[in-house]
A and B are shown apart, each in its own frame.
Chain A
Amino acid sequence: MLKKVFRRQAYYIASAAFVLLSLLYTIAISNQAYVGLDLMTVNGRWIVTLSDPHGEGYKLGIRVGDQILRINNQDTGEYRFVQKWSQAEGASSIQYKRVDQSTDSIIEIPKSTVLLKLLSEMPMIILGVVFWIIGFITWYMRPFLDQARALFWLNLFIGLAIVIAPASSRDLIFARELEYITLSSVPLFLIQLFSFFPSENRNQINKFGRLVFASVLILIFILTILQSVSLIHFDSPLKRLVLSNLIIGVLLVLWNLATLFKLPNDKPEKNQVNILLLGLAIGFLPYFLLTAVPVIFEFQPIVNTKVSYLFISAVPATLYYVIVHKYLPDSRRLLGLIISFFVTGVIVSIVVSYILLTSKLVTTLNLEVYLATLTLTMSFIICSSFIRVAISKQIEKFAPLEGNRGIKRSVLKLNERLISINEEDRLLEEVVKSLMIEGALIVVEDDKGGYHKKAVGIFLEKPSEQIELEEYFQADQRINLEVKRFPDDSSVELYIPLVSNNFTCGIFLGHRNSRVKFEYNELPLVTLISSQLAQRLMTTFVIKDLSKEIIDLAQRSLDLQRRNQRLHGITGSLFKSIEQERKSLARDLHDGALQLALDLNRWLDDIAEECPSAKCDKPIKAIAHMREVVKNLNFELRSICSDLRPPSLNDLGLLNAIQILCEEKMENESVLISLETVGISEGVRLKEEVELAAYRFIQEGITNAVKHSGSSKTNIYIKLSDSEIELSIRDFGNGFDIRKIDEWPISSEHFGLIGMKERFQVIGGELQINSIIHQGTILKASIPR
Chain B
Amino acid sequence: MSMGNEKSENIKVLVVDDHTLFAEGTVSLLSSETNLEIVGIANDGNQCLTLLRSKTPDIILLDISLPDCSGINLIDDIKSINPKVKIIMLTGLNPKGYLTKSLQKDVHGFLLKECNKKEMIEAVFFVAQGKEYFSKGLAPFLKFAFVGSNGDKQALISQPIDIGELLSSREKEIMDLIVKGFNNQEISSTLDITIRTVKYHTSNILFKLSVKSRSKAVAVWTEMSMNEVERH
Contact = CB atoms under 8 A, between A and B. Distances in A.
Interface stretch (B4-12, B15-23, B48-56, B155-163): B15-23
Interface of A: 590-591, 594-596, 598-599, 601-603, 605-606, 609, 631-632, 634-636, 638, 641-642, 647-648, 650-652, 656-657, 659-660, 663-664, 666-673, 712
Given A648-B97, A652-B101, A668 B194 contact: no
B199 A599 contact: no
Interface stretch (B77-85, B210-218, B220-228): B210-218
B98 interface: yes
A667 B196 contact: no
A564 to B, nearest CB: 39
A638 to B, nearest CB: 6
A642 B94 contact: yes
Given A602-B116, A667-B206, A594 B212 contact: no
Contacts of A603: 25
A666 B114 contact: no
A352 B21 CA distance: 123
Contacts of B88: none
B94 A638 contact: yes
* 9 residue pairs, one from A and one from B, having the closest CB atoms: A666-B213, A605-B116, A651-B70, A635-B196, A595-B19, A660-B97, A598-B113, A648-B97, A595-B22
A605 B206 CA distance: 28
Contact of A602 (B25, B181, B203): B25
A664 B141 CA distance: 12
Contacts of A596: 21
A636 B196 contact: yes
Contact of B29 (A602, A641, A668): A602
Given A595-B19, A656-B101, 10 more contacts: A602-B114, A631-B114, A635-B195, A635-B199, A641-B93, A642-B93, A657-B97, A663-B96, A666-B213, A667-B206
Contact of A663 (B93, B184, B212): B212
Interface in B115-140: 116-118
Contact of A670 (B97, B203, B214): B214
B72 interface: yes
B117 A602 contact: yes
B98 A652 contact: yes
B96 A664 contact: yes
Residue among A664, A667, A672 with max Cβ neighbours from chain B (10 Å):
A667
B62 interface: no
A669 B97 contact: no
A663 B215 CA distance: 12
B183 interface: yes
Interface of B: 18-19, 21-22, 25, 29, 64-65, 70-73, 92-94, 96-98, 101, 113-114, 116-118, 178, 181, 183-184, 194-196, 199, 202-203, 206, 212-216, 218
A594 B92 contact: yes
B117 A609 contact: yes
Contacts of A648: 96-98
A666 B22 contact: no
A636 B94 CA distance: 11
A668 B96 contact: no
A660 B203 CA distance: 14
A591 B96 contact: no
Which one of B25, B92, B93, B202 has the greatest number of beta carbons of chain A within 10 Å? Answer: B92
13 contacts: A594-B92, A595-B92, A598-B113, A598-B114, A606-B116, A634-B92, A635-B194, A642-B93, A651-B64, A651-B73, A668-B202, A669-B183, A673-B213
A599 B25 contact: yes
A599 B214 contact: no
A622 B51 CA distance: 42
Contacts of B114: 598, 601-602, 631, 634
B22 A599 contact: yes
A635 B199 CA distance: 10
B92 A605 contact: no
Contact of A669 (B71, B98, B214): B214
A601 B180 CA distance: 36
A712 B216 CA distance: 11
Contacts of A670: 178, 181, 183, 214-215, 218
B214 A667 contact: yes
A582 to B, nearest CB: 16
Contacts of A657: 97
Contact of A668 (B22, B25, B65, B199): B199
A638 B218 contact: no
A599 B212 CA distance: 32
Contacts of B19: 591, 595
B93 A667 contact: no
B29 A651 contact: no
Nearest to B178: A670
B118 to A, nearest CB: 7
B33 to A, nearest CB: 14
